[in-house]
Structure 1
Amino acid sequence: MIYLPYFRGRQFDLQALRAVAQQHILPSNLIPIIEPVRDIKALPQTVAAFVEHDQPLVLVTNPTVSDYALTQQKLHDWQPWRDNPNLILGHVLGPTTTPEALKPLAGHRTLLIARQYDELVAAQAAGWLTLPTYLLVPPEARIRQLIHRPTVSLFDHAWFPAKEQTYANLVDGFFSDDWQRVTETNNQGFSDYTIGGGRYSEHGYPARAVTLHLTYFAGNQLRIHRFVSDDRNDFKHPKEKFFQAVAKLAAWLPAQPMATQTPAARQLAAYYDQHHFPGLGVVKRLSLEHHLQVMAAFLRQNYPV
């Protein structure tokens, strides 16, 4: 049973991943995927942190979002770690996928990523689907009928409220129980875009409310709780809105099981007592750290390797 959380390589994503790598808490069956989007120092720093702490990581070699793939001369390259056994090379199937494009993956542990059914049909006809260590596919019944090898299904569980709504319309809800379907479908594991969701934007989305997102387990079900600021009238005053939201988190967290009271969640709650606004980027980083800490503990307890 493996869990491959999928991250676009934004600054706060990479900071969260680097932090948990340095904490050395991730079991070997929790393998993050990074699809680079920016030529930034945090990318090689994150790869180095995983390699140095002997933890596996997937790096997508042909990213398809943002302009990273178009940057010819990288200032902050991850290539020095390319041959490290902890680094798994990922490739996204697409129009430019050819036998020549796949040759650089030879001799490595690999992840092949398919986002469309038609791409899988073409790849199977070309004989490429037996090559990768892991095959990441959409969770579709017709794909299970097509592919006769273990796969990893990629889900997008993030919910974004409609324009006239906010997260206050659904402060607590179901998030995932993907691991329960793995054995039923003969899969290798499961994957998702964590709490950030699969859609990508260069500049993010403005919001009238400040919302803190924390995943937590209730039995064998992963749920998500959202702490939403009361002020949702305009796009101003993020600091004041943060304190409204974090006050709710600080009141909620002490009543939760210790598995939910992760170091990242406690750090978020501490900002209320300290009356300190760390910035929304730090809030996002800690929310992602919390999710990884929760999932790491769940896998260690239920699916040890």
Structure 2
Amino acid sequence: MIYFPYFRGRQFDLQALKALAQQDALPANLIPIIEPVRDIKALPQTVAAFVDHGHPLVVIANPTVSDYQLTQQKLHDWRPWQANPLLITGHVLGPTTTPADLQAPAGHRSLVIARQFDELMAAQAAGWLTPTQPTYLLAPPEARIRQQLDRPFVSLYDHAWFPDHEQTYANLEDGFFSDDWALADFYGYQGFSDYTIGGGHYSEHGYPSRAVTLHLTYFRGNQLRIHRFVSDDREDFKHPKEKFFQAVAKLAAWLPAQPAATQTPAAQQLAAYHAEQHFPGLGVVKRLSLAHHLQLMAAFMKARYPVN
């Protein structure tokens, strides 16, 4: 069983991934996927960190969000590492996909993402899909796909919830997040994939928020849940520092009562900002929230699906 956490390749995503690779904190069956969205130095640095530390990584060769794909001359290119078998080149199935995109060179693995049922069925009808190529095929866990697809695949699902303009995360501070591994075990999937706590929607500039919210995943039994620590001040878009202290105070009070598995190094660092009364910036907060999720899932994968 493999877990493929899917990232859009923003600065804080890449910083979290790079640090975990350098710490050798991820098991071999937790393989992140990066869809590049910006031509930034952190992208090749992250790829190099994974390769240098002997850990597999997927990079999408034809990203479908942002204008990264339209940039002809990349200042910070990740492709020099393509010859290394630890780097898995991924493709999003679409109108410009060719059969060659689904194949991997000898000694390499390939990964294809099929977001649309019709495109997936067209690729199968054309004979592009075999039991072994691509190595990994990601698709929504729909009954019609299970019924029509004659090869194993990896389930891809977006679990993130975003409140509309009439709501805030304070309306749902705690809730179910995922148990995709149970579905994968039941149906015999190769693995499971999600967009982590960041969600599948991508915006180049993001959206302003009246509240500062810290997101932490945690396990309750075999269920992965998410707890949201929301600032009390939600009247306007001002004072992010003060709002952060309101939110992190709630996290610092909640964390000590949780099991040891939930008290990851990243979560403890977030809680420490309350004791220190230090505001690191919201980018660092997002990086640590993602790092916590990966540290939590790394421990889960090691315990439930150990690999040599």
Scaled by the length of structure 2, the TM-score of the pair is 0.97
Deviation at 1:106, TM superposition (A): 3.3
One-letter code of the match for 1:198? G
Please name the residue that 2:114 is paired with.
Answer: 114
Residues 144 and 303 (structure 1 numbering): CA distance in 2 closer, same or farther, change over 3 Å? same
Q: For 1:21-73, what per-residue CA distance to the aligned partner results, in whole angstroms no more than 9, with x for missing partners?
A: 11111000000000000110000000001001111100101111111111111
Query: How many residues were matched structurally?
Result: 304
- Corresponding residue number in structure 2 for 1:289: 291
Provide the residue aligned with 2:11 in structure 1: 11
Shift of 1:101: 5.0
Whether the 8 Å CA contact 2:102–2:134 is kept in 1: the answer is: no
Task: Please give the alpha-carbon distance, in whole angstroms, between the structure 2 residues aligned to 1:278 and 1:215.
Answer: 21
Say what the alpha-carbon RMSD is for the aligned residues: 1.0
Change (3 A) 1:101 1:150: closer
What's the CA shift for 1:102?
A: 5.0
| Structure 2 unaligned residues grouped into runs of 5+ | none
Deviation at 1:163, TM superposition (A): 1.0
8 Å CA contact retained: 1:208, 1:234: yes
Percent identical: 80
Q: Deviations over 1:172-218 (max 9, x none)?
A: 11100000011211210100000000000000111100000000011
Q: Which of these residues, 225, 229, 233, is aligned with residue 231 of structure 1?
A: 233
Are residues 1:37 and 2:37 paired? yes
Residue 9 of structure 1: how far off its partner (Å): 0.7
Per-residue CA distance 1:241-270 (angstroms, 9 max, x = gap): 000000000111111111000000000000
Aligned residue for 2:186, secondary structure, equals coil
AA partner of residue 27 (structure 1):
P
Partner of residue 301, structure 1: 303
Match of 1:144 in 2: 146
SS at match of 2:51: helix
Matched position secondary structure for 2:262: coil
Structure 2 distance, partners of 1:153, 1:70, is: 29
Q: Residue 275 of structure 1 aligns to which amino acid in structure 2?
A: Q
Taking the aligned partners of 2:185 and 2:226, their CA distance within structure 1 comes to 24
C-alpha deviation, 1:275, in angstroms = 0.7
What is the match of residue 123 of structure 2? 123
Within 5 Å, which residues of 2 pair with 1:239-258?
239-258=241-260
**1:1-305 map, 5 Å:** 1-99=1-99, 101-102=101-102, 105-107=104-106, 108-130=108-130, 131-305=133-307
State how far apart, in whole Å, the 1-side matches of 2:137 and 2:98 are: 17
Following the alignment from structure 1 to structure 2, what is the Cα–Cα distance between the partners of residues 214 and 25?
Answer: 18
Please tell me the residue identity of whatever aligns with 1:183: D
Runs of 4+ in 1 over 6 A off after TM superposition: none
Whichever residue aligns with residue 106 of structure 1, its letter is P
Amino acid at match of 2:207: Y
Determine if contact 2:216/2:228 at 8 Å carries over to the other structure.
Answer: yes
- Measured after TM superposition, the shift of residue 99 of structure 1 is 3.1
Matches of 2:198 and 2:281 in 1, distance apart? 17
Structure 1 portions without partners, runs of 5+: none
Decide whether the 8 Å contact of 1:3 with 1:190 is kept in 2.
yes
Query: d(CA) in 1 for partners of 2:101 and 2:112?
Result: 12
Cα shift at 1:75: 0.5
Q: Deviations over 1:130-186 (max 9, x none)?
A: 221000001211011111111001010001112111000111111000000112112
Q: For residues 258-301 of structure 1, give each alpha carbon's deviation from its aligned partner in whole angstroms, at most 9, with x where no partner exists.
A: 10000000000001111110000000000000000000000101
